[in-house]
Structure 1
Amino acid sequence: MVDAFDTLLAAGNSVVIAEHDLHVAACADWIIDMGPGAGDRGGEVVGEGPPATVAAGPGVTAQYLSPLVTG
């Protein structure tokens, strides 16, 4: 799947996706992390930026994303 995104980007296209797979998110240029919870407890931006920035942030996603971007 990421290869298809790379092909689109190389052709000059922009790609915007909503994704829960953190391996895909770790390959992104920019992440918008929504939370702080799910459903009625969500809807706020709790982090945004490159994957390493979000991984270092306060959001719940950070603890799971961090090992994927820091090795």
Structure 2
Amino acid sequence: MAEEKVERWKYLPQYVEQHKSEISPTMNELQAVDAVIKMCAGKGNNVSDKMCLLALSIWNKATDNGWK
């Protein structure tokens, strides 16, 4: 099961590249996203793949803009 999740995550860079232009994060969103990404990276989390993808998309858009 864990291997399947890792396999899906291989495609995250492509997904983020396609969708990051649609997202304009605020600092509050960045804080929330940071927490979600940490949960997504952990084992046994109950965060949906869709939420992880959205979080990573927002994070990448933000870091592209120099927000950390």
Q: What TM-score do you get using the length of structure 2 for normalisation?
A: 0.27
The structure showing larger relative contact order (alpha-carbon pairs under 8 Å, at least 6 residues apart) is 2
Structure with max Cα Rg: 1
Q: What TM-score do you get using the length of structure 1 for normalisation?
A: 0.26
Which of the pair is proportionally richer in strand?
1
Which of the pair is proportionally richer in helix?
2
